[in-house]
């Protein structure tokens, strides 16, 4: 596929994996992005757009808002005293946080549910009934699981994974610095205490977050992003082709 006349558009879902196959001794880590046939790239977050644009400033980079399925990820029904998380990334961090909280008795009234080997529908069901979701993902292209958890009305605590910085705002969730295990555990304990003493505060925050995510990452917005990106890519290609023909004809 490299160095062929075919025009290519790269869809990069996590720019932090872009150079994963290169070593420090590699004199040219540019790879496919330096292929003359590459006319554009698409990414899934503003953080990733800036990353890729910094690396390849001559390639147009288009950001696509990945949508949250509104038929699966929504806030509804009474929440259980349940904490969900995904152990796929940084499982050692999850183990430490949960252990610290159990030692202190914070989880005595809570069930802890790891989400793994589940379908999207099963995952959504768990999130809809979970009061809290712990985010351990890093690095991420967009950190979709915590966004889905917010859409389901769960209080999200943890890492934004870089790609999720755009929505990991204090008014919607409880961000924790990557690797700060102690702060992570303390934040969970604080949230549990707030829930016990002032449940209305937690209720308002989680519903506010759900509304924000469902609007910010709607299917209409994703559709608009995709159509606008392809329209611009086609215009650029047509313009380049027209200039090439004019040059060949001597105009």
Measured between alpha carbons, how far apart are the two ends of the chain, in Å?
33
Residue 199, pLDDT score: 97
Q: Does pTM top 0.85 for this prediction?
A: yes
b/e code 166-184 from CB counts within 10 Å (16+ = b):
bbbeeebbbbbebeebeeb
Q: What is the pLDDT of residue 235?
A: 95
How open is the CA angle 154-63-166, to the nearest 5 degrees?
A: 35
What does DSSP assign to residue 162?
A: B
Longest dimension (CA), the chain: 80
Contact 44, 163 (CB under 8 A): yes
* CA nearest to 151, candidates 46, 86, 70: 70
Task: Show Cβ contacts of residue 176 under 8 Å, excluding neighbours closer than 6 positions.
Answer: 157, 158, 159, 183, 184, 187
Residues 6+ apart with CB under 8 A from 81: 109, 110, 111, 131
In a structure prediction context, what are the per-residue pLDDT tens digits for the chain, which is 251 residues long?
566 778 999 999 999 999 988 888 887 787 889 898 999 999 999 999 999 999 999 999 999 999 999 999 999 889 999 999 999 999 999 999 999 999 999 999 999 999 999 999 999 999 999 999 999 999 999 999 999 999 999 999 999 999 999 999 999 999 999 999 999 999 999 999 999 999 999 999 999 999 999 999 999 999 999 999 999 999 999 887 665 555 555 55
Measured at the alpha carbon of residue 142, what is the angle toward residues 187 and 203, in degrees to the nearest 5? 40
| Nearby residues of 76 by Cβ (< 8 Å), 6 or more positions away | 128, 153
What's phi and psi for 66, nearest 5 deg?
Answer: -65, 130
Per-residue confidence (pLDDT) for residue 48, from 0 to 100: 98
Residues 6+ apart with CB under 8 A from 212: 150, 167, 172
Catalogue all structural domains in the chain, each as residue range(s) with its CATH number: 1-64 (no CATH), 80-216 (3.40.50.2000)
- The radius of gyration of the chain's CA atoms, rounded to the nearest angstrom, is 22
Q: What is the pLDDT of residue 28?
A: 79
Compute the distance between CA of residue 141 and CA of residue 147 in angstroms, rounded to an integer: 12
Q: What is the pLDDT of residue 21?
A: 85
What pLDDT is stored for residue 62 in this prediction?
99
């Amino acid at each position: 596929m490299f160095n062929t006349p075919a025009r290519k558009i790269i869809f990069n879902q996590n720019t932090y994996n872009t150079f994963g196959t290169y070593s420090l001794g590699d004199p040219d880590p540019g790879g496919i992005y330096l292929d003359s046939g590459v006319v554009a790239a698409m990414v899934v977050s503003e953080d990733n757009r800036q990353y890729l644009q910094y690396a390849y400033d001559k390639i147009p980079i288009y950001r696509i808002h990945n949508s949250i399925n509104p038929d699966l990820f929504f806030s509804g029904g009474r929440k259980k005293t349940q904490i969900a998380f995904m152990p796929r990334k940084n499982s050692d961090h999850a183990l430490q946080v949960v252990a610290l909280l159990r030692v202190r008795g914070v989880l005595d009234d809570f069930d802890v549910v790891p989400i793994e080997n589940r379908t999207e529908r099963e995952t959504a069901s768990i999130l809809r009934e979970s009061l809290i979701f712990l985010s351990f993902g890093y690095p991420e292209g967009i950190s979709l699981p915590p966004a889905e958890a917010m859409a389901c009305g769960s209080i999200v605590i943890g890492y934004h994974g870089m790609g999720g910085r755009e929505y990991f705002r204090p008014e919607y969730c409880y961000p924790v610095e990557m690797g700060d295990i102690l702060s992570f555990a303390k934040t969970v304990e604080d949230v549990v205490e707030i829930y016990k003493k002032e449940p209305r505060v937690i209720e308002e925050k989680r519903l506010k977050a759900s509304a924000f995510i469902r609007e910010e990452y709607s299917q209409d917005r994703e559709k608009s992003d995709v159509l606008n990106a392809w329209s611009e890519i086609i215009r650029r290609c047509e313009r380049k082709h027209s200039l090439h023909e004019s040059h060949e004809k001597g105009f």
